[in-house]
A and B are shown apart, each in its own frame.
Chain A
Amino acid sequence: MKKLLILLCLLILSPKMITAHPHVFIESSVEIEFSDGVPHGVRFRWKFDDFFSRMMLLDFAGSVSGPLSAEQIERLRAGAFENLANFNYFSTILIDDSPLKIEVVEDFRADVAQRTLIYEFLVPLRQPGGSSSSRIDGMRELAIGSFDESFYSYMEFSEEPFSVQGIRPADITSELRKRPDYTYYFDLIVPELLHIKWNP
């Protein structure tokens, strides 16, 4: 009885009530760009559900089929991607378990495959001291997550969530690991982070 009452009060007073059930479903995968055994960027690939794809394409591209022109891609970027900067692009990147605030994304691409809209963008792994700083050179692990804390979108990694561009470090390993320290949406969703390890 007491637990029920506490639960009711928490339900009513919880500040997280601003969130909503998911309206968009996204399948995510990542590609790490390596050069000389050093990662220089993480390229995210998001595949949207058909309903949301159609809405975004009609609203911002004016066409529901690909290939999209440079102008259409720019309209999608400006209208339906740029604002995600306020949400850290739904992306969490941990460099040796230290979170990276995503200041800039590059090389935004949009495409349509069958019915679905696909976004791709690159998060460069730069440090203030430049790309050759010791933090980048000496790193041994990247943990990458894709999730929308507002829960407007539900994101999951695809069946093949990880690939490498460039020379693949010989001893690189990856695993999906649940991270309760990033739990969101009324503490109900425990996201998975993709942990990628190698020897520098």
Chain B
Amino acid sequence: MHKLNLLFLILFISIISMIRLSPAAYANPFTDGTGQQMTPRAGTENSSEAVDGTVFRRVSGIFPAQVQRSFNRQLSELMDGGTEAGFLTMFLIAAIALGYGMVHAALPGHRKTLLLAYFIGSDSRPRHAVIAGISTALLHSFAAAVVVLVAWFFLNVSITAAVGSTTVVIQRITALAAIAIGFVMLWPKIRLIKTPGDHHSSHAHDENCSCNRPPGRIARWVGQGRMLPAIVLSSTFPCPGSSMILLFALAVGNLAVGLLAISMFAFGMAITLVTVCLLAVTGKHHLFEHVGGRFGNVLHHGIEIVAAVAIILFGIFWMWSGPVY
């Protein structure tokens, strides 16, 4: 058998196995998971703290959620037109899906935080940030498309269950990868602490400064973005938002519109993620251009250690928790 065919066969069997593996595991609080009852914080009901935070909260919390709700409603109304979608409708679907994706990725989430931790903890380049942002978004939506289409056309199983069980399997695998990456990133820092002397205090950092990278082969490997694929792979779990959009399109009998919508949704997410990752990379670079000396050195390695530890903790959490999205 041709190598490529064999690869596709293995991939296909793997996808079906993942979907079939844990049918009892689901992907949302309506079907799975345990929450906690909210307990009020004493003394804050009528405090001015709410007033102080109102503008920030509206811009960063409620407003994006309300915008998403509006995009969600408009998109479903347009897509419900069925197979008769004209050019203008298709254009509007594409535009709304793009905006929906951009806002969807703007709110805090743990995988975004993992990416941020990686870029803060390593001396990556801006191109790594661009690659990471684009591939994370595309993989996230592509995984949803694969799971939904396989479940719809080949397995005739619950999409909710398929998304959930795939998420569980990928989460376990990427948990191990995150723990390993965290330790790989942490090791050079520990080595550096053990190494006496401070070569940073005598000069300022620049683009070609070799001391931007911690010593050692592993550290250089991390700095060159070689560990990035493993971080990005943590996003191969199916995006629930894309899954719902594609399923809706299948239900109204227009797969092409569904694929268009989730593609634009993914591009929207990519724009936001690239922006966030670039901010992390360039922000860190600029920060340590201005903070030199012993303090800058300690701060630099302190932040990288915290980021590496955070990645390890993420991995441990994913290993033992239920599906998280």
Q: Please report A residues at the B interface, Cβ cutoff 8 Å.
A: 1, 4-5, 8-9, 11-13, 17-25, 49-52, 54-56, 58-60, 64, 79-81, 83-84, 86-88, 92, 99, 101, 115, 148-150, 152-154, 156, 178-190
Q: Which of B6-14, B228-236, B240-248 contacts A (4 or more CB under 8 A)?
A: B240-248
If A83-B33, A86-B33 touch, whether A55 touches B247 (CB-CB below 8 Å) is yes
Q: Is residue B84 contacting chain A, with contact meaning CB distance below 8 A?
A: no
State whether A83 touches B29 (Cβ < 8 A): yes
CB neighbours of B104 from chain A (8 A): 21
The CA-CA distance from A8 to B43 in the complex, in Å, is 28
Since A24-B28, A179-B45 are in contact, a sample of 9 more A-B pairs with Cβ atoms closer than 8 Å, ordered by chain A residue number, is A17-B113, A21-B65, A21-B108, A50-B76, A59-B158, A115-B80, A180-B47, A181-B40, A190-B62
Q: Is residue B170 contacting chain A, with contact meaning CB distance below 8 A?
A: no
- Closest Cβ of chain B to A22, distance in Å, is 6
- Closest Cβ of chain A to B79, distance in Å, is 8
Of the A-B pairs whose beta carbons lie under 8 Å apart in the complex, a sample of 21, sorted by A's number, is: A5-B303, A12-B116, A19-B110, A20-B109, A21-B65, A21-B104, A21-B106, A22-B69, A51-B248, A56-B30, A60-B158, A86-B34, A115-B80, A148-B29, A153-B29, A180-B44, A185-B61, A186-B61, A187-B53, A188-B60, A189-B57
If A12-B310, A52-B244, A150-B29 touch, whether A189 touches B120 (CB-CB below 8 Å) is no
- Which of B32, B72, B314 has the largest number of chain A CB atoms within 10 A? B72
Q: Is residue B195 contacting chain A, with contact meaning CB distance below 8 A?
A: no
Q: Is residue B91 contacting chain A, with contact meaning CB distance below 8 A?
A: no
- Closest Cβ of chain B to A37, distance in Å, is 27
